[in-house]
Amino acid sequence: MVFTTALNFVRSRGPDEFWRKRKIFKLAAHFIGRRRNCYSIAIRNVHRALVYATKGRQLKKEDMANLWETRVRAGCEQHDIPYDTFKEGLTRCDILLNRKVLSELACWEPYTFKALTDVARRRAIDDGLKGATSSNDIDRILTRGSLNKT
Amino acid sequence: MGTLLRQIIVNCNNLSRLSIQSNLLKNVNSALLPLAVNKRYSNAPTPYEVVDRKSEEKSNQEVINKVNQLVKDEKTLKLFAVVHVAGKQFKITDGDVIVIEGYWPPTVGDKILLEKVLLAGGSDFTFIGRPVVQKGLVRVEATVIEKTVSHTKTHFRKKRRKQYMRINFYRIPHTYLRINRICINGEVNNPPEVRGLETAIF
């Protein structure tokens, strides 16, 4: 193709206008009102939507992490042990369950979760951590020093 | 009679849940360094108590025997396990399908054993690993049923009024893993003399 001026060259670049716009309209198909039918408005909103989608993937991970932590906190409250003491106690016992699994256990395996809180509390008492109070229940079951490595 | 029995079971549930770990996992070696104990101390004096080793061991042994008996009589109902696969922890049970994201070498049809079992339990007891339960005790069998990729994800960045716009597309490999069976092999707190050979192929 021969271009007499640079302007013509610029205007002729890219795929045909129809196909270029169709790409955007396809993404805007589920929008409401002029956003789906007017190109200049549609492209603005499509760009915004794509940016949100990109950022949203990270946000979803953060939200899930927050949700798990909330659930574990609730479980800890139920068994009367502060969350930080619980995590610290478990870590010191080399129990390396993550928050996702702990939250699932708190929801679906209440006995197991109670056992974990008892282990953490025993360890916290043995190590003299703050926020752990003794109860006869665990004294009967887990004895002093039994959670330390031998 | 029915209620009484139930109560007894519940009681021994708690007992078994708690005492096993302490004994069982003395056998598991850990390469972790001892944790620093210098954080968040309370001012309350540590209470002293006299520990009777013998009665302690006896009660622990009772619990372990109970669990062993349950396993022997095949009274362990559906078991669940927490396994560590490809950097993520999954709580699984028989028949589950889990999706492993990212590059993971096993191919379709491979039957594999998941060996990093962090926790396993049933209706009556739980093994808590420090950090993993005794190797070979819990057997988790799985099959790779599908290898595919995720839907196309669009990575789109744009800065307003700065003529900056980037778009990129990517897909993540997915591996679908069917959990065939979770069962308990061998005895609790009684590891074989030579360990590490349960799953070795000669």
Note the pLDDT of residue B4. Answer: 32
Expressed as residue numbers, the domain containing B6 is 2-28+56-184
Note the pLDDT of residue A74. Answer: 95
> Which residues of chain B does A97 touch, with a Cβ-Cβ cutoff of 8 Å?
82, 89, 118-119
Inspect the interface and report whether the beta carbons of A150 and B34 lie closer than 8 Å: no
- For A73-77, what is the mean pLDDT? 94
User: Is residue B89 within 8 Å of residue B192, measured between CB atoms?
Assistant: no
Q: Which residues 43-72 of A are in CB contact (within 8 Å) with B?
A: 47, 50-51, 53-54, 57
Note the pLDDT of residue B167. Answer: 95
Residue B199 lies in a domain: no
Q: Testing the interface with A: which of B13, B15, B17, B79 to mutate, by most A Cβ within 10 A?
A: B17
Note the pLDDT of residue B196. Answer: 66
Cα torsion through B101, B102, B105, B108, rounded to 10:
40
- For A45-57, what is the mean pLDDT? 96
Listed in order, the ranges of chain A carrying CATH 1.10.1900 are 63-141
In 3D, which of B111, B122, B90 has the Cα closest to residue B180? B111
Residue B107 lies in a domain: yes
Structural domain count of chain B? 1
Instruction: Give the CATH number of domain A63-141.
Output: 1.10.1900
CA distance to A32, A143, A144, per residue, from B49 (Å): 72, 10, 8
Q: To the nearest whole number, what is the mean pLDDT of chain A?
A: 87
pLDDT band at A129 (very low <50, low <70, confident <90, very high): confident
Residue B49 lies in a domain: no
Q: Is the pLDDT of residue A70 over 60?
A: yes
CA distance to A26, B152, B185, per residue, from A46 (Å): 10, 17, 56
- Inter-helix orientation angle A83-92/A110-126, to 10°: 80
> Which residues of chain A does B129 touch, with a Cβ-Cβ cutoff of 8 Å?
95
What are the residue ranges of helices labelled H in chain A?
A: 6-11, 17-27, 34-37, 39-78, 83-92, 99-108, 110-126, 136-141
Determine what percent of chain B is predicted with pLDDT higher than 90.
Answer: 44
Q: Is the pLDDT of residue B45 over 70?
A: no
* End-to-end CA, chain B: 53
Query: Locate tokens 């078994």: which residue?
Result: B16
3 state DSSP class of A4: coil
Inspect the interface and report whether the beta carbons of A51 and B18 lie closer than 8 Å: no
* Phi, psi dihedral angles at A60 (to 5 degrees): -60, -40
Q: Is the pLDDT of residue A138 over 80?
A: no
Q: What is the C-alpha to C-alpha distance for residues B107 and B125, in angstroms, rounded to an integer? A: 34
Residue B42 lies in a domain: no
A136 touches chain B (CB under 8 A): no
Note the pLDDT of residue A108. Answer: 93
Residue B105 lies in a domain: yes
Residue B121 lies in a domain: yes
* Chain A residue closest in CA terms to B41: A129
Q: Is the pLDDT of residue B115 over 60?
A: yes
A133 touches chain B (CB under 8 A): no
Q: Is the pLDDT of residue B8 over 60?
A: no
- Inter-helix orientation angle A110-126/A99-108, to 10°: 120
Task: Give the pLDDT confidence of B93-111 residue by residue, as tens digits.
Answer: 999 999 999 999 999 999 9
Please name the residues in contact with B47: beta carbons below 8 A apart, sequence gap of 6 or more.
A134
Read off the tokens for B106: 């096993």
Q: Is the pLDDT of residue A5 over 90?
A: no
Buried b (16+ CB within 10 A) or exposed e, A114-137: bbbbbbbbbbbbbbebebbeeeee
pLDDT band at A148 (very low <50, low <70, confident <90, very high): low
Give A57 or B30, the one with higher predicted confidence.
Answer: A57
Inspect the interface and report whether the beta carbons of A109 and B80 lie closer than 8 Å: yes
pLDDT band at A38 (very low <50, low <70, confident <90, very high): very high
Note the pLDDT of residue A49. Answer: 96
Note the pLDDT of residue B88. Answer: 95
Inspect the interface and report whether the beta carbons of B119 and A129 lie closer than 8 Å: no
> Which residues of chain B does A20 touch, with a Cβ-Cβ cutoff of 8 Å?
none
What are the residue ranges of helices labelled H in A79-109?
A: 83-92, 99-108
Q: Is the pLDDT of residue B83 over 70?
A: yes
Determine what percent of chain B is predicted with pLDDT higher than 70.
Answer: 71
A93 touches chain B (CB under 8 A): yes
pLDDT band at A143 (very low <50, low <70, confident <90, very high): low
Q: Is the pLDDT of residue B151 over 70?
A: yes
* Chain B residue closest in CA terms to A108: B91
Q: Is the pLDDT of residue B57 over 90?
A: no
Q: What is the C-alpha to C-alpha distance for residues B105 and B110, in angstroms, rounded to an integer? A: 10
